[in-house]
Amino acid sequence: MKNISEINAYVAHRKDITERLKKTLIQKLMLQLDETELDNDTPLFGLGLNLDSIDTLEILVGVEEEFGISITDEDIAAFRSINTVVDCILEKTSQQNSNRVEE
């Protein structure tokens, strides 16, 4: 990203992905929260949201359904916070898009 307009476009895209992810998490995990009550860097496990391994599966399924991507065992390491999951989604969707262009 070189200029402010590129940065603004990136932020708008990231914001959209983040809001969709938050809605998915709240719905899948039946959290008694709204999206504005979830900080993007809050740890998903341990202190913070204190989720467990069953929740991980729910998140994984939810992310695959909502964003049309496939999550591998290696990708699970990225499931540390909402922001790190968004990083993973952005990388996966970018890879998918470049694969489509090549095809």
Q: Note whether 17 and 90 are within 8 A (CB).
A: yes
Q: Which residues contact 69 (CB under 8 A, 6 or more apart)?
A: 63, 89, 92, 93, 96
Instruction: Please report how close the Cβ of residue 13 comes to other proteins at its closest, in angstroms.
Output: 10
| DSSP calls for 76-98 | GGGTTBHHHHHHHHHHHHHHHHH
Residue labelled with tokens 């008694």: 32
Q: Note whether 60 and 71 are within 8 A (CB).
A: yes
The reply on whether position 59 binds other proteins by CB under 8 A is no
Site string for other proteins, 12-51 (x = CB under 8 A): --xx----------------x---xxxxxxxx-xxxxxx-
Q: Which stretch binds other proteins (CB under 8 A): 22-30, 61-69, 77-85, 94-102?
A: 77-85
Q: Which stretch binds other proteins (CB under 8 A): 3-11, 20-28, 58-66, 94-102?
A: 3-11
Q: Note whether 59 and 28 are within 8 A (CB).
A: yes
- Which residue in 9, 10, 95, 98 binds other proteins (CB under 8 A)? 10
Binding site for other proteins (CB under 8 A): 1, 3-4, 7-8, 10-11, 14-15, 32, 36-43, 45-50, 77, 80-81, 83-84, 86-87
